[in-house]
Structure 1
């Protein structure tokens, strides 16, 4: 192992660049749908040894070593994000004649930008780099901070945070309820990188012991929490929820000639009799932007919905909402959720707050539109963001926390404003991304929000993956990717009253301080003398 580490440290030029890119790409095997986290135990030691190589020459200028560390981290991130996010390019191929030119920007440009955060992580770690376990600790803290920054800088895009590699199944998801996604990301990097200590021997016993304890606590806490009951059942708050997954091709959804057929397909699926073992659905949920016209301008569509729903049933649907701004001004459009009762009345609504750049709106539109850059979603002026996030208050007394599409990937969207909610409802349309890793990755992130918040998640996607998820991240019932049909599930909405929590972001900062403290003590020589 020492010989391998030494050879990797001494690499330079294209060989070093190629190795670090491949290491990042291999690490992406830990992401859905593969979920094979073992390669991360190879990728991160290689990253550590390559960073060791930037500090091996005493005569080397400090700034040069910092630049080299940044470049190594950036290349690692480039490999990781290209391998994990290539499928985003599928969205541009839905209307290839208009957007195919942007394919390199999606497949290579976005990963190159996201990789900057990993470059900063490695450069930041280089500032406190030392021998032994300290360098593993500062690298872990730096990656945790990088993932935190990635969640909000330039509107944020924390997709495929490193922590997800350590949480492929419910047994390994429960730690997120204690330290949050970014805390898990930091601790995961420590564990994944710990084998690098075998290549230099310094601090190996201490570092590997700590990594082993962290892994044992991760699994042990998961086993303990899964063994505990979620809450006491309350039959008065048990309702049957129907998930409607129409599996409509994205090109058809955008075709004006298919709009009526699309709407009628949702009505037919909604009207199906209850599935065996379930009573008549109380709540029916349709996916994001399901209704292919402005519903408030089409009273006949509301009548059709009312005629389809049974008395007392509620429909929750994604739709486009328009708002008139007055004479001479174009209306505003919102990506919204409506709750419609069996009389055809809209009884609750919420707008999407966190929009997708270049998908739902164009930043600096006045400038970029002159260059021919437009939204992927064909809508005049794009969508406008909702003013604030609010609960959907249903006539039956339930309160749902609405998240549209990728809003559910942001841990910071899980704010105190969700307290009092009985469940999270997430409607989305992943048909843009075809049969690719994208829908699987999106679904895993939705499961983690259930564990993080202690709330069940009702998730409905046009082509999947649709499911009801309990507060432990277990799938209660669902429909696989590209399946067409409905799925009925009986949910107990009383459990959330005991389970819902505030965000756990403060524990992340505690983890970060502890890791950085280890790095500082190690650099000062205190820990190395103890080894």
Structure 2
């Protein structure tokens, strides 16, 4: 089993296993380079398409098996799935996700083999991350670039996004392997992208147009009791009570489904509390389930939603739903098989892509202003493309979640880091509220200004900047990277064809 022939496969597995430690909460970013170098080396020693597929799959299986192991917490601790079923279910999920890099790198082997190896590796690494962002609604998690919130490469985020940083990392890792093998120092030229990133950190892509006062309430409601009927009104009382100490802030943010009543049933209580909020010049933005009433075209359909009330207004319905959490693929066939698939509020409808931003009145002396707020629910903040689209006209980004599903595991820490990366990419401040943590305020450099750790019932008040303008990444999106990547793989395929022609 530990033969010389098996060595590349074992290197691929070990490379995938260390990958998550480059990301939050560890941020041992050199391990990301080591991980990618291990994958590149194992692919160098893959003579066939099948071998490349196998080794990339082994890498991905180890990467996702450890990196998203927090899914076990939601399935077992909160979803009622027994250990003997939850563990293999996480393994199946990791194995399925691993098919994506396996397919892309098998294609690389078939089309170009080792032609332009360093550049084609970087191109295919970026493309497999990009493909994972949209395939079957997408899972934009565990990107290599997300490890570099605070390194010199952070300067590239407003230009290329986390995807571009991933490209630079793959290019660097592959180049280092080739230099170690050949002593051809010319391959170290890509390392110049690192000091360039440091210089780019000094650029300001957006500018301050004013400030607003913000507050966050972290209710810390026990997940296993959250949806019980007897907890509905005590939870409402909890959030309203904790909010009164934050009155006077322009915006006060509650978590995803902070209110477990349907929007229509909560309205009478909301209107009463809205009077208090208006008297103190405050707006609450909260998550709440929404059901279309009788007589409407979508009668009976549910949304996972956000509403603004008090001294502001707006409704937003979540667009990117979580498979098996908020909707069930092939629902009629698999509902009832596993208790996890029958959890409350697990059959939502996706919101329309064209939705208005939320509006919050900002009070400054005798003059009032209107702030436009871009909202994101749960892992919507993980989608760079979605955030780029709605952030353009927004003064501030808010994201709400209920990470109580995952306890104090890796999941909430990784999720927090994704919100920080979106702030860095868009040049906007991000306000985040979750049921059990991590709740935080993040500035436009991706730095956490204030935070509440996991497991505390508390809140905070702070001052956030409202910013306008567009980063280069917001203007161009992924178009330049896609052109570069497909150009490189086309050139590599052409060179290989001429060699074998």
Is TM more than 0.5 here? yes
Cα distance change on mapping 1:486 and 1:372 into 2, 3 Å: closer
Cα distance change on mapping 1:240 and 1:370 into 2, 3 Å: closer
Contact 1:390/1:417 (CA < 8 Å) preserved in 2? no
Contact 1:244/1:285 (CA < 8 Å) preserved in 2? yes
Cα distance change on mapping 1:472 and 1:525 into 2, 3 Å: farther
Cα distance change on mapping 1:18 and 1:175 into 2, 3 Å: same
What is residue 364 of structure 1 aligned with on the other side?
330
SS of residue in 1 equivalent to 2:45: helix
Q: Displacement, 1:96?
A: 4.8
Residue 338 of structure 1, aligned match among 307, 313, 319: 307
Q: Displacement, 1:299?
A: 4.4
2:156 counterpart of 1:175: yes
Cα distance change on mapping 1:80 and 1:395 into 2, 3 Å: closer
Structure 2 gaps, min length 5: 362-369
Counterpart Cα distance in 1 of 2:333 and 2:266: 35
2:373 counterpart of 1:394: no
* Structure 1 residues 342-384: Cα deviation after superposition (integer angstroms, max 9, x where no partner): 5xxx8310100110000011012122236557635413x7111
Cα distance change on mapping 1:462 and 1:174 into 2, 3 Å: farther
SS of residue in 1 equivalent to 2:440: strand
* Structure 1 residues 176-204: Cα deviation after superposition (integer angstroms, max 9, x where no partner): 211223222222111122221144206x3
Residue 502 of structure 1, aligned match among 469, 475, 480: 475
Q: Displacement, 1:502?
A: 2.8
2:453 counterpart of 1:480: yes
Contact 1:360/1:376 (CA < 8 Å) preserved in 2? no
Q: Displacement, 1:497?
A: 4.4
What is residue 393 of structure 2 aligned with on the other side?
420
Q: Which moved more, 1:402-411 or 1:113-122?
A: 113-122
Contact 1:139/1:189 (CA < 8 Å) preserved in 2? yes
Contact 1:26/1:80 (CA < 8 Å) preserved in 2? yes
Q: Displacement, 1:45?
A: 2.7
2:98 counterpart of 1:115: yes
Counterpart Cα distance in 2 of 1:321 and 1:139: 45
2:127 counterpart of 1:145: yes
Residue 319 of structure 1, aligned match among 257, 266, 288: 288
Structure 1 gaps, min length 5: 1-7, 56-64, 275-279, 527-531
Aligned runs of 1:186-225 on 2, under 5 Å? 186-201=167-182, 204-208=184-188, 210-222=189-201, 224-225=202-203
Cα distance change on mapping 1:498 and 1:122 into 2, 3 Å: closer
SS of residue in 1 equivalent to 2:68: helix
Q: Which moved more, 1:512-521 or 1:296-305?
A: 512-521
Cα distance change on mapping 1:101 and 1:320 into 2, 3 Å: farther
SS of residue in 1 equivalent to 2:394: coil
Counterpart Cα distance in 2 of 1:199 and 1:492: 47
SS of residue in 1 equivalent to 2:445: coil
What is residue 62 of structure 2 aligned with on the other side?
79
Counterpart Cα distance in 2 of 1:498 and 1:511: 22
Contact 2:73/2:407 (CA < 8 Å) preserved in 1? yes
Counterpart Cα distance in 2 of 1:199 and 1:525: 28
* Structure 1 residues 439-497: Cα deviation after superposition (integer angstroms, max 9, x where no partner): 1111111111112222221211112221222222122322223332111111232x224
Cα distance change on mapping 1:499 and 1:507 into 2, 3 Å: closer
SS of residue in 1 equivalent to 2:46: helix
Cα distance change on mapping 1:187 and 1:455 into 2, 3 Å: same
Residue 114 of structure 2, aligned match among 125, 130, 141: 130
What is residue 288 of structure 1 aligned with on the other side?
256
Q: Displacement, 1:433?
A: 0.5
Cα distance change on mapping 1:177 and 1:69 into 2, 3 Å: same
Q: Displacement, 1:415?
A: 4.7
SS of residue in 2 equivalent to 1:74: helix
Q: Displacement, 1:17?
A: 3.2
Q: Which moved more, 1:421-430 or 1:179-188?
A: 179-188
Counterpart Cα distance in 2 of 1:186 and 1:399: 33
Counterpart Cα distance in 2 of 1:518 and 1:196: 22
2:34 counterpart of 1:42: yes
2:217 counterpart of 1:249: no
Contact 1:391/1:421 (CA < 8 Å) preserved in 2? no
Contact 1:17/1:72 (CA < 8 Å) preserved in 2? yes
